Amino acid sequence: MQTGKIVKALAGFYYVKSDGIVYQTRARGIFRKRKESPLVGDIVDFEADNVKEGTITHIHPRKNSLVRPQVANVDQLLITVSIKNPDFSFYLTDRFLAYSESNHITPILIVTKNDLNDDEELIKKIKETYDMYDVYFTEKDTVNESLKDIFPDKLSVLAGQTGVGKSTLLNTLLPNLNLETNEISEKLNRGKHTTRHVELIDKNNGQIADTPGFSTIDFTHIDKEDLRFYFKEFNDYLDDCKFRGCVHINEPKCAVKDAVNNGDIKESRYNSYLQIYEEMTNYKERY
């Protein structure tokens, strides 16, 4: 019996890395009966007589797992958003941030295509709005050297709207990767999926999960009343609301709404919260 980490899932096979060696394995039938599936990032026990014919026998408990992309034990979500083509969206950025927070994963914001931007006020607004997070700006074919410090001892997932340049960013960070990239469709102002499977790639003593792009996310794993906890700056005011369990919408003497009115919480962030809350109320969340 050996223990390792699943570093790639493809066509029913799970590739488990143990002591520097990668074993091709399949999952035991018992997992299907239990309706369980191993995920990339899982720590597993497996049996293998050789590197081509192994069997996963046990999945260790996970600290978290994502549905889209399907990765377990994630340390940080690298939320990739473009400044242009497609245009920067505060609302989509807020969705990804709340999604990351709700899964108890550290979010890091990476703003791509800064070479296409000529609006310095937009840069200033992004920095001010997300000053509670680490924010990095990148340009085409240029590595932001500060990014190299975020990877050691972390499993990172790269996520973001389709067409924002995730594959381009990975190619820049990992020049030997040579991922396929597609041009943005001018008609739709959106890109095409370019990656076909989930795989962990070694980077600066850490790992990055290369995953397909997705443009919206699902909050069905949390109750709408808990959404307030995943807008980080709201938490500074929770104890000052008059009503315990205040969701900061219709309640009187709400400290969060007062903070919005005073400019201490950005109005765009609060509006994103209201929009997501309404969607959760109406059960109209779309993938």
Binding-site residues for GTP, in ranges, read 112-115, 160-168
The residue among 11, 36, 34 whose CA lies nearest residue 25 is: 11
The residue among 141, 88, 78 whose CA lies nearest residue 115 is: 141
CB burial of residue 224 (10 Å; 0-12, 13-18, 19+) = middle
CA dist 270 and 231 (Å) reads 9
In sequence order, what are the residues at sequence separation of 6 or more whose Cβ sits closer than 8 angstroms to the Cβ of residue 229?
Answer: 101, 235
- Core vs surface per residue 157-169: b (16+ CB within 10 A) or e: bbbbbbbbbbbbb
The half-sphere exposure of 31 on its side-chain side, counting CA atoms within 13 A, is 15
Q: Taking a C-beta distance cutoff of 8 angstroms, is the pair 38, 59 a contact? A: yes
Question: Count of CB atoms within 10 A of residue 225's CB?
Answer: 12
User: Per the annotation, where are the binding residues for Zn(2+)?
Assistant: 241, 246, 248, 254
CA dist 102 and 63 (Å) reads 13
User: Per the annotation, where are the binding residues?
Assistant: 112-115, 160-168, 241, 246, 248, 254
One-letter amino acid for residue 191 of the chain:
G
Question: Count of CB atoms within 10 A of residue 1's CB?
Answer: 8
